[in-house]
A and B are shown apart, each in its own frame.
Chain A
């Protein structure tokens, strides 16, 4: 079912957790809230669930204003980052709990729980207590309970953040499939851009209580509406530098300048910010050449993460293959001026390349 936030805001004391936000999530969509810690992902979710009341604005659910309606009467399920299960119930009873409260017939409860346990590989654990499960199994139990309810809105608040790498990969792959057939609107909060890209669906980028941009995940990644949105959706962080446009030339410093991309040739002269994704800054190739003082070079499998300082800016290169640098060496890096983002002095995007890859 569609959920609609109408000019919702949340203040706690003197602090504003969510600035006025309007957002519509369509029924059956997989939605991602992407933002760093304290960006307001959890606050926004709690407003959607009805666990918190908005300071202003309304929450609409499937064409109905549900702003003041208690959570018990809403069709919402939630999974938290910490593994939350009823410690005094067995796994079976944990999964069955929303059904039992709703007075579903015992035989149907059995069927539903067994089906979900099958789906989430919990069948051998049904008689155990949550404390006797591994972290991954505990989170699966919480997921199964959220699924058992058959809620129209499912909120997943960084559900994989506390799991170790392998389990996270595994569950991340299963998650969209689990919810695909249910018709539920899923909202998934994460702080990892890569996770958002892998999950697909729609993404909202959040920063410091502001909703920056909402749209299809790959689109948002390729077309950030602002510098802020690009920063939220970049890992390693996007490289930025102040540049000055003068006629057909874009100048970063005395020694570094390049030709303005065609699409930007009509833009007025003045100050801009250039944004270069880490994997577009390579130690070899063609394009604009910059020299950087290497701070540290780390290997991540077949790729190298090289941190450097270029004209006073902290930049990162995500280079293919293994590159070794001694700390403090000066090295040349190249980027393609056509593959950069350009932002105006307000941080709005004025140019994005269409050949993102």
Chain B
């Protein structure tokens, strides 16, 4: 049974990969007491209480809504701004274009913590503190450069002759860009949106620093589960399990292009 033999390694690999996630999900169906009591592979008292709590308590579900709002705003801004920028880098030569292109990436080289304080001060001054747009804009710092790099890769894969053919056919630049070019690199835009979504979704430090109540992200909510009876671990596990879902949902749509995205659109 050589087919069986070939399946052993991948099966083990997937098993090890899934183990922590299984641990998290199984914990989310346990009571905190059972979790503290010792290790058990299956929940002995299967309970949905943790999830019910999250979906009925506004301080919990608002965390998800806040996170989703600023992540979506950020993704939209990043992709919209990066599209023309990437097109310029891909199609035109101008003074210092290569340096500017590289400089964009250096924005990703500093840890976000470096920027937390200036952002905090700036947003307080212009009364953007604790708003969704504040976090969305802050995340643009590292998402726009990434989006430009990924989109530039995908755009450079489209021959320049396609642009010229469209002009020869009589298309104006804007008509060509919207009707022909954007559909041509749709996969690239999808991948870019996914990466922006992902980085903004998992970023905690800026999101936490720049919000207090109205725009508090889910990750910040999760750090405040300490009560008189200690940490509510079951609740934390349920909240954690739920944070995986949006990412998994988005990744489904771009699953065929993810590898190219990690290569920044370059093959």
Question: Which A residues are closer than 8 A to B by beta carbons?
Answer: 49, 51, 70-72, 76-78, 80, 82, 84, 86-89, 97-98, 101-102, 142, 145, 149
Contacts and interface: CB of A to CB of B under 8 A. Distances in A.
Interface string B163-183: 011111111100100001001
B168 A76 contact: yes
A207 B189 CA distance: 43
Interface string B3-35: 000000000000000000000000000000000
A49 B159 contact: no
Interface in B134-175: 159, 161-162, 164-172, 175
B170 A102 contact: yes
B162 A84 contact: yes
Nearest to B180: A86
B169 A145 contact: yes
Contact of A72 (B159, B162, B171, B186): B171
* Interface size of B as a range: 10 to 19
B170 A51 contact: no
A122 to B, nearest CB: 17
Nearest to A157: B161
Contacts of B183: 88
B184 interface: yes
Contact of B168 (A49, A88, A102): A49
A57 B79 CA distance: 42
Given A86-B180, A88-B183, A51 B169 contact: no
B165 A84 contact: yes
Contacts of A51: 164, 167-168
B172 A72 contact: yes
Nearest to A49: B168
Interface of B: 159, 161-162, 164-172, 175, 180, 183-184, 186
Q: What are the 4 tightest A-B residue pairs by CB atom distance, in nearest-first order?
A: A88-B183, A101-B170, A98-B169, A84-B161
A87 to B, nearest CB: 5
26 contacts: A49-B168, A51-B164, A51-B167, A51-B168, A70-B167, A71-B164, A71-B167, A72-B167, A72-B170, A72-B171, A78-B165, A80-B165, A82-B159, A84-B165, A86-B165, A86-B166, A86-B180, A86-B184, A88-B184, A97-B169, A98-B169, A101-B169, A101-B170, A101-B175, A142-B165, A149-B170
Nearest to B165: A84
Nearest to B170: A101
Given A72-B167, A72-B171, A102-B170, 6 more contacts: A72-B168, A77-B169, A86-B184, A88-B180, A101-B169, A149-B169
A80 B184 contact: no
Nearest to A46: B164
Contacts of A77: 168-169
B161 A80 contact: yes
Nearest to A142: B165
B167 to A, nearest CB: 5
A77 B172 CA distance: 15
Contacts of A101: 169-171, 175
Contacts of B164: 51, 71, 78
B167 A86 contact: no
A145 B165 CA distance: 10
